[in-house]
């Protein structure tokens, strides 16, 4: 059996909504990951969902 080559992860993108809670959660996870893997570049990609855009209607 051969060993598959592993590629080192250097950049991680975390998609997050733009609400204060979602941003806090994403930033918290980024900080924890950087404590463990300081060589990583971690980007937060802020997204807007359909539910963020349509505020006068409930989905369900």
| Bigger pLDDT: 33 vs 7 | 33
Residue 23, CB-side half-sphere exposure with 13 Å CA sphere = 6
Q: Give the pLDDT score at 21.
A: 96
Q: Give the pLDDT score at 7.
A: 80
Alpha-carbon distance 28 to 20, whole Å? 12
Nearest to 14 by CA among 38, 31, 37: 31
Alpha-carbon distance 51 to 38, whole Å? 35
* Degrees, nearest 5: CA angle 36-29-35: 20
Alpha-carbon distance 46 to 58, whole Å? 22
Q: What is the pTM (predicted TM-score) of this model? A: 0.73
List pLDDT tens digits, range 11-56: 999 999 999 999 999 999 999 999 999 999 999 999 998 777 777 7
Domain boundary assignment for the chain:
13-48
């Amino acid at each position: 059996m051969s060993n598959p080559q592993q590629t080192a992860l250097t950049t991680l993108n975390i998609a997050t909504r733009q609400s204060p809670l979602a941003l806090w959660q994403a930033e918290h996870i980024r900080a924890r990951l950087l404590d463990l893997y300081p060589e990583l570049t971690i980007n937060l990609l802020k997204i807007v969902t359909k539910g963020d855009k349509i505020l006068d209607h409930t989905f369900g």
